[in-house]
Amino acid sequence: MFVDHSLLRRGALEDRAYQRHIAETCLQRSTLVILPTGMGKTAIAVRVLAETLRTKGGKVLFLAPTKPLVEQHATYVRATTVLEDVAVFTGELPPEDRELAWRGAKLVASTPQVIENDLRAGRLDLSAVTLCVFDEAHRAIGDYAYVDVAREYGGLVLAMTASPGSSAEKIVQVCDNLRIPLGNWEIRVPTDPDVVDYTHDIAYERLTVDVPEDARPVIARLRAVYDTHVDDMKRRGWITAPRPTMRDLLALGTATRQRLDSGDKDPSLYQILSKQAMAVKVNHAVELAETQGLAAVKTYLERLERDRTTRANRTLLKDKRLLEALALLDKPTGEHPKVAAALRVVGEQFARKPDSRVIVFAHYRDTVDMLTERLTAAPGVRPARFVGQAARVEAAGLTQKEQVALLDQFRAGAVNTLVSTSIGEEGLDVPETDLVVFYEPVPSEIRTIQRRGRTGRVRAGRMVLLVTRDTRDEAYMYSARRKEKRMHEELARLRATLKQMTLDRVPRTPEETPDPEGHPKKGGQASLGDFPG
User: Residue 97 above 90 pLDDT?
Assistant: yes
Assign 430 to helix, strand or coil. coil
d(CA 177, CA 155): 13
Query: Do the beta carbons of residue 111 and residue 64 sit within 8 Å?
Result: yes
Give tens-digit pLDDT for 430-478. Answer: 667 889 999 999 888 777 777 776 665 556 788 899 999 999 999 999 9
d(CA 66, CA 428): 10
> For position 508, what pLDDT does the model report?
41
What pTM does this model have?
0.73
> For position 289, what pLDDT does the model report?
93
User: How far, CA to CA in Å, does 408 sit from each of 149, 222, 412, 414?
Assistant: 30, 43, 6, 9
Domains contained in the chain, CATH given = 17-197 (3.40.50.300), 202-210+335-477 (3.40.50.300), 213-329 (1.20.1320.20)
Q: What is the DSSP letter of 209?
A: E
Angle between helices 268-291 and 472-504 (to 10 degrees): 100
Residues with Cβ within 8 Å of 191's Cβ and at least 6 positions away in sequence, in order, are: none
E-strand spans in 280-378? 358-361
Averaged pLDDT for residues 503-526: 43
Averaged pLDDT for residues 471-488: 88
CA angle 177, 65, 122 (to 5 degrees): 70
User: Which 3-state string (H, E, C) describes 41-109?
Assistant: HHHHHHHHHHHHHHHHCCEEEEECCCHHHHHHHHHHHHHHECCCCEEEECCCCCHHHHHHHHHHCCEEE
Give tens-digit pLDDT for 173-230. Answer: 999 999 999 889 898 887 888 888 877 777 889 999 999 999 999 999 999 999 999 9
Assign 204 to helix, strand or coil. strand
Residues with Cβ within 8 Å of 412's Cβ and at least 6 positions away in sequence, in order, are: none
Give tens-digit pLDDT for 258-274. Answer: 999 999 989 899 999 99
Query: Of all residues in the chain, what percent carry a pLDDT higher than 70?
Result: 88
Give the least confident one: 71-75, 287-291, 387-391. Answer: 387-391
User: Residue 533 above 60 pLDDT?
Assistant: no
- What is the pLDDT of the chain when averaged over all its residues? 86
d(CA 362, CA 424): 10
User: 498: pLDDT confidence band, cut at 50, 70 and 90?
Assistant: low
Averaged pLDDT for residues 365-391: 90
Nearest in space to 498 (alpha carbons), one of 161, 8, 10, 32: 32
User: 171: pLDDT confidence band, cut at 50, 70 and 90?
Assistant: confident
Give tens-digit pLDDT for 305-333. Answer: 888 888 899 999 999 999 999 999 987 67
User: 521: pLDDT confidence band, cut at 50, 70 and 90?
Assistant: very low
Q: Which helix (H) or strand (E) holds 341?
A: helix 337-352
> For position 443, what pLDDT does the model report?
84
Task: Name the phi and psi angles at 130, rounded to 5.
Answer: -105, -10
Query: Do the beta carbons of residue 134 and residue 61 sit within 8 Å?
Result: no
Residues with Cβ within 8 Å of 298's Cβ and at least 6 positions away in sequence, in order, are: 326, 329
CA gyration radius for the chain?
26
Averaged pLDDT for residues 413-422: 92
